[in-house]
């Protein structure tokens, strides 16, 4: 065995180019396949790190009358309590909401992600603190809720793993909270991506769990806000369908007791927790897995071609060994020596590459895929990839030996002495292999081109607002001192006044949700004289804003005027074009009045429309905003808000000035992230960009491997036909004739493979169509571009050997005879 290893390494050392190409091809194929499989397995297949994760179910609701605007809704607190008291399908339930709250204790407060929850969260997730205890039902009552359970990361990072942390007080949201527990390092809560977390630069997992402490009034309202995340654990043996049927029956009971003017048809929607976390990412991940499998296939085909070419050139050596008495086992072992060494070397390098790639990939994961914590290398996937590639390499190395057994040694030795070239069957097999890898490469290039064109169109769509020289910042006001609307409005007014004084600031405004930050507030709009039940009233998307908002975003008004300081205290509103067309068709919306929500609510005065804003894409780039209503911040404010600042200076240099201006109003208000609006736009397409970048990497790699395969086949063909080419030149053939002959021979499998690749891509068009934005999966420009790229790659791969063939000296080629 040692002799075989030394012999194999010595022969590979004599062909460094061949060895390097094969080992790197193996490494890239194994490394990329293992890394992507680790990601797909981690997100789609690996069970969540909780006891019996298959029992975990996300609980949502559906109001049939609002299905067009909201296919599903978060939970209603009143309905949750009813479910919890009467359900027999669940072991435990929890109602929660993820918020960002200020954590005091330092020179300036920090913004941290906090999960407000009912005590059932710990039973649902079957988790207990490593230190201390969980909070009780009594502590989940208003006025008694100031206790906190810390995550291990917060305990170690902010409190230096203080072993005496239990019983100590921390300042959270402006109030003193007593630390009663610390969770284990292995406990990880994914970000719920709630409305409050939507404005965070990267929605973070919760760093602490505190009681949600719902008020009595909220719990008694059967049709109050649907804005809570529900999670339940099914009892053993109970299916999701059985639980769904039971909850639907309870929802019908709830709906029957609702007053006539609030009547609605309620349904429950139960989804497995892992499926809910994956969301719309399942198909893109499967496409990535198929793409990397295609890359691995191209690599295997390329290695097979290289080994076949190398083996065919050694037919005479194998025939001599057979003539001298070598057994079939000896010949097979001799042929497998190099293949084994290549497979082992490439496999080891591929696993090392995967081990380095997976941790790096963690830094580029979009938030929607990063819900597990640390991404880990999947050794089962690595083993499968290594086994597959090594098997392909060994088979490719052994195949020529098996073929040689069917040919007599004297026949091989005789054929080597004449004007003989590669056997026709071998040449046909190698061309088929080249066509196969070209087909896979074309399909990858075409899919990547479609996604690239889609992302380009998405990034250059008319958003309705401008992003240049615009900064954004998020604010979380502590509850202490800001319980009332007027207190919050006063803070925002003072902060905006300080910001407008900064050098270079042209406009400064505040809004409930930053552009592309998702949706934050949906409510009903009732026109005068409309007596329909609440469930039949159209639902609008609301945002509260300050004067200067439209100017800061350069979001145009098509009628009326924008908010001004003179409107302070007035019940005015600005509506979008679509809202104006829907509510007042054929009329001028300016001057019209409407009421928001329940007209029986005390103080619900009518709002007067003073302007109509152009439709924009402030919720998502992929679709135009639905009906939108903008109300002034003195009408309603929340604890969290987003600043929009348009400046004539370099935005990157103003972050510290913005923080100081806000802290000059109240030093207890955290300003964690100051970002450009361009950065928010880029973050909103992070998942698409991540998928496209990976596909582009695979497509380029497959393209290079396919080009290398074409080059190897054509080069070997030229070497085999060297004497034939010399004879042609001696008989008067021109260099152009030799170029044409080589190009025809090399481009035929390329064109056949390109046609097959286009067919593969078109057949699978349905898979990628849902990922495209305003781009047809049969786009002729992208298809033509993919063919041209492959044709150019094939031509370059053929021209180099063609040049070598045309430079053959006729006498030198014929002298070998």
**More confident of the two residues 482 and 556:** 556
- Per-residue confidence band for 418, with pLDDT thresholds at 50, 70 and 90: very low
Q: Which residues contact 218 (CB under 8 A, 6 or more apart)?
A: 77, 78, 224
- Per-residue confidence band for 313, with pLDDT thresholds at 50, 70 and 90: low
The first and second tokens of residue 259, run together, are 């007053």
Beta strands 572-576; 522-526: pairing state? unpaired
When the pLDDT of each residue in the chain is averaged and rounded to a whole number, the result is: 81
Q: Whole-angstrom Cα distance, residue 163 to residue 131?
A: 9
pLDDT at 200: 43
pLDDT for 400 beyond 70: no
Q: Whole-angstrom Cα distance, residue 125 to residue 151?
A: 14
Q: Identify which of 697, 700, 22, 34 has the alpha carbon closest to the alpha carbon of residue 300.
A: 22
The first and second tokens of residue 129, run together, are 């603190």
Specify whether the backbone of 132 is left (phi greater than 0), alpha (psi in -120 to 50) or beta: left
> In 497-583, which ranges are E strands?
505-511, 522-526, 539-545, 557-560, 572-576
Q: Identify which of 643, 683, 640 has the alpha carbon closest to the alpha carbon of residue 661.
A: 643
Q: What does the pLDDT look like over 177-202, one tens digit per residue?
A: 999 999 998 888 877 654 333 444 45
Q: Whole-angstrom Cα distance, residue 258 to residue 221?
A: 9
What are the two backbone dihedrals, phi and then psi, of residue 395, each rounded to the nearest 5 degrees? -65, -40
Q: Is 260 helix (H, G, I), strand (E, B) or coil?
A: helix
Q: Whole-angstrom Cα distance, residue 212 to residue 45?
A: 32
Q: What does the pLDDT look like over 633-656, one tens digit per residue?
A: 988 888 888 899 999 888 878 888
Confirm if 4 and 344 have CB atoms less than 8 A apart.
no
Count of C-beta atoms within a 10 Å radius of residue 736: 9
pLDDT for 766 beyond 90: no
The first and second tokens of residue 527, run together, are 């026109």
Q: What does the pLDDT look like over 786-800, one tens digit per residue?
A: 888 878 888 888 887
pLDDT at 744: 81
* Domain locations in the chain as residue ranges: 1-49+278-417, 53-235, 422-462+685-817, 479-667
pTM: 0.76
pLDDT-above-90 percentage for the chain: 19
Q: Whole-angstrom Cα distance, residue 339 to residue 400?
A: 12
pLDDT for 419 beyond 60: no
The first and second tokens of residue 447, run together, are 């899919």
- Per-residue confidence band for 328, with pLDDT thresholds at 50, 70 and 90: low
pLDDT at 67: 75
Least confidently predicted of 304-313, 402-411, 752-761: 402-411
- Per-residue confidence band for 94, with pLDDT thresholds at 50, 70 and 90: very high
Q: Which residues contact 335 (CB under 8 A, 6 or more apart)?
A: 311, 318, 397, 398, 400, 401
pLDDT at 572: 93
Task: Provide mean pLDDT across the span 444-458.
Answer: 84
pLDDT-above-70 percentage for the chain: 86
Q: What does the pLDDT look like over 669-698, one tens digit per residue?
A: 887 678 888 888 888 887 788 878 888 888
Least confidently predicted of 136-150, 420-434, 486-500, 558-572: 420-434
């Amino acid at each position: 065995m040692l002799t075989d290893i030394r012999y194999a390494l010595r022969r590979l050392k004599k062909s460094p180019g061949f060895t390097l190409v094969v080992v790197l091809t193996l490494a890239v194929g194994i490394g990329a396949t293992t890394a992507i499989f680790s990601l797909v397995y981690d997100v789609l297949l690996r069970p969540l790190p909780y006891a019996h994760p298959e029992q975990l179910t996300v609980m949502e609701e559906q109001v049939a009358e609002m299905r067009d605007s909201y296919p599903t809704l978060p939970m209603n607190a009143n309905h949750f309590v009813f479910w919890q008291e009467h359900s027999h399908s669940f072991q435990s339930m929890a109602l929660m909401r993820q918020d960002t709250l200020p954590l005091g204790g330092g020179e300036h407060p920090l913004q941290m992600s906090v999960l407000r929850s009912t005590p059932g969260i710990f039973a649902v997730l079957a988790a207990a603190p490593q230190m201390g205890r969980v909070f009780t039902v009594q502590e989940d009552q208003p006025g008694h809720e100031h206790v906190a359970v810390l995550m291990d990361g917060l305990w170690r990072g902010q409190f230096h793993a203080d072993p005496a942390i239990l019983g100590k007080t921390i300042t959270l949201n402006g109030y003193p909270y007593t630390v009663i527990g610390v969770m284990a390092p292995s406990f990880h809560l994914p970000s719920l991506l709630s409305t409050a977390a939507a404005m965070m630069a990267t929605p973070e997992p919760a760093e602490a769990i505190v009681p949600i402490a719902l008020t009595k009034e909220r719990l008694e309202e059967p049709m109050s806000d649907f804005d809570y995340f529900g999670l339940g654990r099914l009892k053993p043996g109970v299916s999701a369908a059985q639980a769904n049927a039971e909850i639907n029956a309870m929802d019908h009971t709830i709906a029957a007791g609702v007053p006539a003017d609030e009547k609605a048809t309620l349904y429950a929607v139960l989804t497995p927790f892992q499926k809910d976390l994956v969301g719309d990412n399942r198909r893109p991940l499967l496409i990535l897995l198929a793409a990397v499998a295609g890359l691995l296939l191209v690599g295997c085909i390329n290695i097979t071609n290289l080994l076949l070419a190398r083996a065919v050139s050694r037919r005479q050596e194998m025939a001599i060994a057979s003539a001298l008495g070598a057994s079939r086992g000896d010949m097979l072992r001799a042929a497998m020596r190099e293949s084994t060494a290549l497979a082992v070397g490439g496999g080891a390098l591929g696993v090392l590459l995967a081990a380095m790639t997976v941790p790096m990939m963690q830094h580029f994961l979009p938030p929607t895929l990063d819900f597990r914590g640390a991404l880990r290398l999947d050794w089962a996937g690595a083993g499968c990839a290594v086994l597959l590639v090594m098997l392909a390499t060994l088979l490719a190395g052994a195949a020529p030996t098996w073929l040689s057994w069917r040919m007599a040694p004297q026949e091989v030795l005789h054929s080597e002495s004449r004007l003989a070239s590669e056997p026709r069957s071998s040449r046909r097999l190698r061309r088929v292999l080249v066509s196969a890898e070209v087909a896979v490469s074309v399909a990858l290039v075409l899919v990547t081109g479609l996604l690239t064109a889609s992302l380009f169109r998405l990034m250059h769509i008319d958003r309705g607002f401008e992003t240049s020289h615009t900064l954004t910042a998020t604010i979380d006001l502590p509850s202490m001192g800001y319980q009332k609307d007027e207190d919050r409005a006063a803070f925002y007014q003072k902060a905006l006044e300080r910001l407008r004084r900064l050098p270079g600031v042209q406009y400064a405004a505040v809004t409930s949700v930053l552009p592309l930050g998702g949706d934050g507030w949906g409510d009903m709009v009732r026109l005068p004289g409309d007596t329909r039940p609440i469930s039949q009233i159209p639902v609008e998307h609301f945002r509260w804003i300050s004067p200067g908002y439209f100017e800061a975003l350069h979001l145009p008004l098509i009628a009326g005027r924008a908010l001004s300081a003179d409107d302070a205290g007035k019940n005015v509103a600005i509506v979008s074009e679509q809202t104006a067309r829907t509510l007042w068709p054929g009329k001028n919306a300016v001057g019209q009045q409407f009421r928001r929500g329940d007209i029986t609510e005390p103080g619900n005065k009518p709002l007067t429309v003073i302007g109509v804003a152009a439709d924009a894409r402030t919720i998502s780039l992929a679709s135009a905003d639905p009906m939108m209503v903008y109300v002034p911040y003195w009408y309603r404010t929340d604890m969290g808000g987003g600043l929009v600042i348009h400046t004539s200076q370099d935005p990157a240099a103003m972050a510290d000035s913005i923080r100081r201006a806000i802290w000059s109003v109240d030093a207890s208000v955290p300003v964690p992230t100051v970002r450009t609006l361009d950065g928010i736009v880029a973050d909103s397409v992070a998942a698409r960009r991540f998928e496209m970048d990976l596909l582009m990497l695979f497509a380029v790699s497959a393209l290079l491997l396919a080009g290398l395969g074409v080059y190897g086949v054509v080069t070997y063909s030229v070497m085999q036909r060297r004497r034939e080419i010399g004879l042609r030149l001696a008989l008067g053939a021109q260099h152009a004739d030799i170029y044409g002959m080589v190009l025809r021979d090399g481009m035929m499998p390329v064109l056949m493979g390109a046609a097959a690749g286009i067919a593969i891509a078109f057949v699978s068009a349905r898979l990628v169509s849902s990922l495209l934005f305003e781009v047809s999966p049969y786009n002729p420009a992208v298809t033509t571009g993919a063919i041209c790229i492959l044709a150019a790659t094939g031509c370059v791969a053929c021209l180099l050997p063609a040049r070598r063939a045309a430079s053959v000296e006729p006498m030198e080629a014929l002298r070998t005879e």
